[in-house]
Amino acid sequence: MATQASESDVIIIGGGHNGLVCAGYLARAGRSVRVFEARDVLGGAAITEEFHPGFRNSVYSYSVSLLHPQVIADLSLERHGLEIMERAAGTLSLLDNDHLLLTRDDAQARAEIARFSARDADRIEQFESEISTVAIALRQLAIQSPPDFGGGWRDLMQLLSAGNVARKLGAQAQKVLATLMTSSLGDYLDSWFEGEALKGVLGLEGVIGNFASPYQSGTAYILLHHAFGEVGGRAGAWGIARGGMGAISDAMASFARAQGVALETGTPVEEILLDGKKAVGVRLADGRTFNSRQVAANVHPQTLLTRMLDPSLLNEEDRRRVDGYRSHSATFRMNVALSELPQFTSMAGRGDAHFQGAIEVSPSLAYIDQAYLDAKQTGWAKKPVISMQVPTTQDDSLAPPGAHVASLFCQHFQRHLPSGQSWDDVREQVADEVINTIDAYAPNFKGAVLGRQIKTPLDIERDLGMIGGDIFHGALHLDQFYAMRPIPGYASYRMPVDNVFLCGSGAHPGGGVTGLPGRNAAQAMLRSR
Ligand SMILES: Cc1cc2nc3c(=O)[nH]c(=O)nc-3n(C[C@H](O)[C@H](O)[C@H](O)COP(=O)(O)OP(=O)(O)OC[C@H]3O[C@@H](n4cnc5c(N)ncnc54)[C@H](O)[C@@H]3O)c2cc1C
């Protein structure tokens, strides 16, 4: 098929939220932009769908905190329909015949922690302040392009700027940062607290999307990654988007369209076209070709560097690093349509306020570790770590009156089952086990389920192209972080071929609905001549 006559300044491969953000920034700066999205819907892992008649919910990502306020402001997302509501309640952690209820009232939370350990109650404030001080530094680094090893003067300036952020932290926070970067989650929490319930619920943040034992070095960092966000100016807070996560992508798409971006769905890109070592456009799976001066890829880094580009363009060392890029977050996601709210035995007579927060099944670090060990051995956790959210308690647009939807976000579930079975063979059985796990705390739960949507690690890979089912487009471990993401030498969004940029979660600062890889890549593209 012939090359299309029209040429745009930029083609973006993938209309995930980062592709849309990248498109929005570039178009705002006057570039003509065309986005090709493989699926029939824009938004990638940030979409809302009807999964049971009359019941809608976010399909993959479900909770907002990391979406950067600068992105919200620059792309006028509120004017384009986005409403983010902070979760009104705190966290309910379910325990055998008990619970740990940490509301947003500090005095209540301290008293609740003291039921398990008075020493922990004395320390919690200092712990939270330690994490949030360091998270501030991370927030600053997240919005800057990392330096490339052996780069030019701009990389040197970036390195100096990053050094300055670390310098401003002061000696105490620098020590904390170094500890969080190198410690295991388990050792770090053990050094602070003695109550198993508290360590379990705090530890959950560290295993989200991170297939590792909580006692593996480097795992403490994920605590920080999940703390660098904010909602409505409140640091570390989490919220929900009215209408589900699709509302975020819809607002981004609406802004992009208003700037003249051409958004095309059902158009998978097969290959990036080169003239020598310079990109000149793309070829779609249907054979059509389109020219552009720059190409930005919102896809997984391995897809870009080994499938859309000829891998022989990489030198041997880089090829080895790309092949060895770790991508397996071991995540299983379900939505359930509910005829009534679950009645947690230990919360009988305590009202429903806790449904406006996070409800966690993560009773101890030992429980988290066992979930990891089971998944390593048999493919999935027999007793999974589960984070539950019931958005219908704050958003009446998702279910019929009186009914509810719940998001269930579960760890650990390996992408490849050691038995050699396919996830398609075991999905219903595993979903039953997830429901049984919750039913043990709320015996009306199973009976209240009217319908369910299951996303196994295979579905996540198959639907979105997230290799290994990795929700972050690659593990957020230290060797795949900052100047090392996705691999050393390609951290500044520029790829080994001229005019090709990475604008998805495989780039700094990594996964989550942040908009930052898209924003930062757009800045790099605007700087590039
Ligand atoms: C189950 C799950 C739960 C999560 N929960 C949360 C959460 O609660 N909060 C949070 O902040 N983050 C969460 N995350 C992480 C977050 O959603 C992702 O890191 C983020 O949405 C990725 O955005 P992206 O734009 O970089 O990539 P994606 O969303 O992966 O977008 C990439 C796009 O590229 C398209 N594409 C792929 N190949 C091609 C091709 N050949 N041609 C054209 N298009 C192509 C894909 O279809 C997709 O639309 C979750 C993720 C998952 C999967």
- Give this prediction's pTM: 0.96
Please tell me the residue having the least CA distance from ligand 1 atom 4: 61
Please tell me the residue having the least CA distance from ligand 1 atom 27: 16
Ligand 1 lined by 508 (C-beta under 6 Å): no
Rounded to the nearest angstrom, the distance between the alpha carbon of 506 and the centre of ligand 1 is 10
Ligand 1 lined by 516 (C-beta under 6 Å): no
pLDDT computed for residue 238 by the predictor: 85
Rounded to the nearest angstrom, the distance between the alpha carbon of 460 and the centre of ligand 1 is 9
311 with 359, same domain: the answer is no
Question: Can you tell me the distance from the alpha carbon of 258 to that of 227, in angstroms, rounded to the nearest whole number?
Answer: 33
Strand runs labelled E in 343-425? 358-361, 380-389, 404-413
Q: Which atom of ligand 1 is nearest to the CA of 506?
A: 26
Question: Domain end: 447, 464, 481, which one?
Answer: 464
Ligand 1 lined by 38 (C-beta under 6 Å): yes
Ligand 1 lined by 16 (C-beta under 6 Å): yes
430 with 340, same domain: the answer is yes
Ligand 1 lined by 15 (C-beta under 6 Å): yes
Q: Which atom of ligand 1 is nearest to the CA of 41?
A: 49
Is the backbone peptide bond immediately before 517 cis, with ω within 30 degrees of 0?
A: no
Please tell me the residue having the least CA distance from ligand 1 atom 21: 45
CATH code where residue 308 lies: 3.50.50.60
Strand bridging mode 239-241 / 289-297: unpaired
CB distance 202 to 358 below 8 Å: no
180 with 224, same domain: the answer is yes
351 with 440, same domain: the answer is yes
pLDDT computed for residue 478 by the predictor: 85
Of residues 40, 72, 67, 77, the one with CA closest to residue 263: 40
Q: Domain total for the chain?
A: 2
Question: Domain end: 464, 495, 511, which one?
Answer: 464
pLDDT computed for residue 364 by the predictor: 98
Please tell me the residue having the least CA distance from ligand 1 atom 14: 61
Which alpha helices (DSSP H) does 357-506 contain, by range?
365-378, 423-439, 445-448, 457-464
Q: Which atom of ligand 1 is nearest to the CA of 463?
A: 47
Rounded to the nearest angstrom, the distance between the alpha carbon of 402 and the centre of ligand 1 is 31
Strand bridging mode 380-389 / 404-413: antiparallel
CATH code where residue 457 lies: 3.90.660
Ligand 1 lined by 367 (C-beta under 6 Å): no
Report residue 244 CA to chain centroid gap: 15
Question: Can you tell me the distance from the alpha carbon of 404 to that of 17, in angstroms, rounded to the nearest whole number?
Answer: 26
492 with 447, same domain: the answer is no
Ligand 1 lined by 222 (C-beta under 6 Å): no
Please tell me the residue having the least CA distance from ligand 1 atom 13: 61
Is the backbone peptide bond immediately before 486 cis, with ω within 30 degrees of 0?
A: yes
Domain housing 250: 3-84+243-326+470-527
- Integer-rounded Cα Rg, in Å, for the chain is 23
Instruction: Give the position of tokens 């998944």.
Output: 375
Rounded to the nearest angstrom, the distance between the alpha carbon of 307 and the centre of ligand 1 is 18
Question: Can you tell me the distance from the alpha carbon of 34 to that of 323, in angstroms, rounded to the nearest whole number?
Answer: 30
60 with 127, same domain: the answer is no
The first and second tokens of residue 231, run together, are 């909602």
Q: Which of 47, 300, 513, 516 to mutate to test the pocket of ligand 1 (most atoms within 8 A of CB)?
A: 513
Tell me the CA end-to-end span of the chain in Å, nearest whole number: 30
Ligand 1 lined by 380 (C-beta under 6 Å): no
Please tell me the residue having the least CA distance from ligand 1 atom 10: 512
Mean pLDDT by 10 residues, the chain (529 residues): 70 98 98 98 98 98 92 98 92 97 94 98 94 86 88 81 84 89 94 97 89 90 74 74 98 98 98 95 98 98 97 95 96 98 97 96 98 97 97 97 98 97 98 98 98 98 98 92 94 96 97 96 93
167 with 118, same domain: the answer is yes
Rounded to the nearest angstrom, the distance between the alpha carbon of 439 and the centre of ligand 1 is 30
Please tell me the residue having the least CA distance from ligand 1 atom 34: 14
pLDDT computed for residue 135 by the predictor: 87
225 with 343, same domain: the answer is yes
Ligand 1 lined by 282 (C-beta under 6 Å): no
3-state secondary structure labels for all residues of 249-315: HHHHHHHHHHCCCEEECCCCEEEEEEECCEEEEEEECCCCEEEEEEEEECCCHHHHHHHHCCHHHCC
389 with 452, same domain: the answer is yes
46 with 94, same domain: the answer is no
Q: Kindly provide the b/e burial profile for residues 250-287, where b requires at least 16 CB atoms within 10 angstroms of the residue's own CB.
A: bbbbbbbbebebbbeeebebbebbbeeeebbbbbbeee
51 with 107, same domain: the answer is no
221 with 263, same domain: the answer is no
Ligand 1 lined by 413 (C-beta under 6 Å): no
Is the backbone peptide bond immediately before 412 cis, with ω within 30 degrees of 0?
A: yes
Q: What is the dihedral of CA 237, 241, 246, 251, to 10 degrees?
A: -100
CB distance 372 to 211 below 8 Å: yes
